[in-house]
């Protein structure tokens, strides 16, 4: 009954059940999933942090964040429509073997539940259940990608063309003009700035965002007083999570590998080479059986580059980690130092020596007590914080915020005016709080909102609507933008003039001297290279790979610099190099084609879902000023 009442209570605030369109606080509904404005804000803030952008640039990445979330949930909806599934077992396998394996399972050993929860909180600001749901969603998308890309092929001619293009090497002279030099030449007057402000006035409309002032009580799960963990609490948790403490049988071994040749054309095997490898392995085994030093022989003779330098030592492993023949022989060893015979696998002949062996067992309560204590404490703290927050909210609504706080020796904090991207004392970056704070009416009764570390009971005491700055208020920003525009315009013009002059003279060096441009020379580079003052050669400067020897390019903009190139030398890869690298080249071209196909698939999916109503946008949220308009 409680669950049903919650649904009935929440729906009118989020969706209009008659029109089935997204309502306040929701940016879009995608296949039945609500992408909230808070979701978009949170993702934009994460993207800005990852790109190391200042806080004021968050608004510029919001459209990208919104599109990313809409695309994600469109793909998930489509995967489910196609009856694709991601199981709990697949999540466990991903965590054990995927990109987080080194952090969560170093050397194959689980770091423990407390460290797992800390890792998730520190890196993703969420709980375990939410994180594992996120992993499940990504696995679902991966399955859809694999299905879409499964039948992609590329012809041999496309592979060769792509290889030649990617591995062509050029050496060139280049003249560089910089924005910094142009900036020094920009002259500014108040008349020009005022004209610039008037011309771009639409861009300044409501650029001073809405701000609010709040009073709040911060409640953190980590510092709730009186949260104690008893031995019974720990024992109960241990009994409920016994499976987590089961340690499978593991072995720690070193090995020597003598590789055998892979089958050639027509799956033919070079039997002479196989026999030679076996003879070498037998000789090494004989040396070991008569007292030879395993580590020294492994360093000198093993064909496994990952372990040879370590004397053949491998990380300890459990069943299922190695190829069957190797695993069976390794687990058959019983005594430390014991040698296997020759073990044949798909890789060649192995000789294995046991370093240590660990029987399957369950860790005792005493062994894991220290790991369990912080988990239980956090759980009890969260529960206590939840109960306290809801009690405080109820009391604050009837008695006021100050009396509710005083009754429990808590502090009421009063903020300065803040925008929805600011960080508040005791709350930090708290998108859920910000969504609630900017949805609440000023002077309305106190209410509860989640924060990153707990809760806040708050009331909005005042608000300042978004406003358009006067010229004087915006003057600093106007001057900066005017200077940037003038410097960029000057850079573009002078780079164009430099290119034209160099072509007339057939001499880049002389033209650069006339224009006071720096002249430099590159090494032989490919499109994967980086060149000083230019950056990656797969960007605008890739024009160098389309020019003939001694040809001069048009103007090239690399962001902060303007560049003109003159090719000095060209080196094409040989037919022998292509033949040697053909398999890798094919995979690269195939991967590129797969990516292009999936981008097209995702784009068409979005268009289809928008057309048939499975994606609906909330225009009020898009145009509210919190997000740039457009979908």
597 touches 589 (CB < 8 A): no
Residue linked to tokens 């095997």: 269
Query: Rounded to whole angstroms, how far apart are CA atoms 585 and 82?
Result: 33
- Which residues fall within 8 angstroms of residue 562, CB to CB, at 6 or more apart? 176, 177, 178, 491, 492, 494, 495, 498, 555, 556
pTM, to two decimals: 0.52
DSSP annotation string for 252-263: EEEEEEEE-PPP
In this prediction, residue 13 has a pLDDT band, given cuts at 50, 70 and 90, of very low
pLDDT tens, 539-580? 899 999 999 999 999 999 998 899 999 999 999 998 888 888
Query: Rounded to whole angstroms, how far apart are CA atoms 13 and 417?
Result: 26
What's the topology of domain 2-153+593-622? Answer: Triger factor/SurA peptide-binding fold (1.10.4030)
Provide the β-strand partners of residue 252. Answer: 356
pLDDT reading at 48 higher than 90: no
Residue linked to tokens 């600001």: 125
In this prediction, residue 126 has a pLDDT band, given cuts at 50, 70 and 90, of confident
Domain boundaries, the chain: 2-153+593-622, 169-205+470-571, 211-239+365-464, 249-359
pLDDT of residue 22: 40
Tell me which of 105 and 564 has the higher pLDDT.
564
Kindly report the average pLDDT of the chain as a whole number: 87
Compute the average pLDDT of residues 519-531: 94
Alpha helices in 400-542 (DSSP H): 401-406, 431-439, 471-505, 508-514
pLDDT reading at 222 higher than 80: no
Query: Rounded to whole angstroms, how far apart are CA atoms 348 and 260?
Result: 5
pLDDT of residue 264: 55
363 touches 383 (CB < 8 A): no
pLDDT of residue 263: 66
Q: What 3-state DSSP class applies to 14? A: helix
- Which residues fall within 8 angstroms of residue 439, CB to CB, at 6 or more apart? 24, 25
In words, the CATH class of domain 249-359 is alpha beta
Specify the CATH architecture of the domain 211-239+365-464. Roll (3.10)
Judge whether 211-239+365-464 and 249-359 match in fold. yes
Q: What 3-state DSSP class applies to 344? A: strand
Provide the β-strand partners of residue 127. Answer: none
pLDDT tens, 261-288? 876 555 577 889 899 999 999 999 999 9
Query: Rounded to whole angstroms, how far apart are CA atoms 163 and 269?
Result: 30
- CA angle 366–371–374, rounded 5-degree value: 125
pLDDT tens, 374-388? 888 888 888 888 899
pLDDT tens, 387-446? 999 999 999 999 999 999 999 889 999 999 999 889 999 898 888 899 899 999 999 999
pLDDT of residue 377: 86
pLDDT reading at 178 higher than 90: yes
């Amino acid at each position: 009954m409680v669950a049903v009442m919650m649904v009935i209570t929440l729906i009118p605030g989020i969706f209009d059940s008659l029109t089935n369109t997204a309502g306040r606080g929701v940016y879009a509904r995608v296949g039945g999933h609500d992408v909230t404005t808070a979701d978009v804000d949170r993702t934009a803030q994460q993207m800005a942090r990852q790109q190391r952008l200042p806080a004021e640039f968050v608004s510029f990445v919001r459209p990208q964040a919104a599109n990313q979330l809409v695309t994600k949930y469109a793909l998930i909806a489509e995967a489910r429509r196609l009856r694709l599934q991601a199981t709990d077992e697949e999540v466990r396998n991903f965590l054990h073997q995927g990109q987080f394996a080194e952090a969560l399972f170093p050397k194959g050993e689980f770091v423990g539940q407390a460290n797992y929860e800390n890792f998730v909180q520190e890196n993703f600001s969420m709980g375990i259940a939410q994180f594992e749901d996120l992993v499940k969603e990504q696995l679902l998308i991966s399955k859809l990608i694999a299905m879409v890309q499964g039948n992609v092929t590329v012809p041999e001619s496309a592979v060769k063309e792509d290889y030649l293009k990617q591995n062509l090497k050029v050496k060139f002279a280049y003249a560089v003009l910089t924005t910094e030099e142009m900036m020094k030449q920009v002259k500014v007057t108040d008349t020009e700035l005022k004209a610039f402000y008037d011309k771009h006035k639409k861009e300044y409309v409501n650029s001073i965002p809405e701000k609010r002032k709040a009073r709040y009580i911060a409640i953190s799960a980590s510092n709730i007083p009186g949260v104690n963990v008893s031995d019974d609490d720990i024992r109960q948790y241990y009994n409920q999570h016994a499976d987590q403490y089961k340690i499978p049988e593991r072995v720690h071994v070193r090995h020597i590998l003598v590789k055998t040749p892979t089958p050639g054309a027509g799956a033919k095997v070079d039997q002479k080479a196989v026999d030679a490898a076996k003879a070498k392995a037998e000789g090494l085994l004989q040396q070991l059986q008569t007292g030879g030093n395993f580590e020294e022989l492994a360093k000198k003779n093993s064909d496994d580059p990952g372990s040879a330098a370590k004397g053949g030592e491998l990380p300890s492993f459990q069943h299922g980690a190695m190829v069957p023949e190797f695993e069976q022989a390794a687990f058959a060893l019983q005594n430390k130092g014991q040698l296997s015979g020759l073990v044949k696998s798909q890789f060649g002949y192995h000789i294995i020596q046991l370093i240590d062996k660990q029987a399957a067992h369950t860790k005792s309560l005493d062994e894991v007590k220290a790991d369990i204590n912080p988990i239980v404490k956090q759980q009890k703290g969260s529960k206590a914080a939840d109960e306290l927050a809801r009690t405080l909210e109820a009391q604050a609504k009837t008695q006021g915020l100050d009396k509710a706080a005083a009754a429990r020796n808590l502090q009421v904090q009063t903020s300065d005016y803040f925008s929805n991207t600011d960080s508040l004392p005791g709350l930090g970056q708290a998108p859920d709080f910000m969504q609630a704070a900017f949805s609440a009416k000023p002077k309305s009764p106190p209410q509860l909102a989640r924060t990153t570390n707990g809760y806040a009971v708050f009331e909005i005491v005042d608000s300042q609507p978004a406003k358009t700055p006067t010229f004087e208020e915006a003057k600093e920003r106007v001057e900066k933008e005017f200077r940037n525009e003038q410097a960029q315009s000057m850079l573009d013009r002078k780079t164009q003039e430099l290119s034209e002059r160099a072509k007339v003279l057939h001499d880049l060096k002389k033209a650069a001297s006339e224009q006071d441009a720096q002249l430099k020379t590159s090494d032989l580079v490919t499109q994967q290279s980086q060149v000083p003052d230019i950056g990656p050669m797969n960007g605008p400067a890739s024009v160098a790979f389309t020019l003939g020897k001694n040809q001069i390019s048009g103007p090239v903009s690399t962001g902060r610099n303007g560049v003109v190139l003159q090719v000095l030398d060209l080196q094409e890869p040989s037919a022998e190099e292509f033949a040697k690298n053909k398999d890798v080249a094919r995979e690269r071209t195939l991967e590129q084609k797969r990516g292009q196909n999936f981008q097209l698939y995702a784009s068409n999916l979005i268009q289809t879902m928008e057309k048939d109503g499975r994606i609906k946008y909330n225009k009020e949220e898009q145009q509210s000023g919190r997000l740039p308009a457009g979908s």
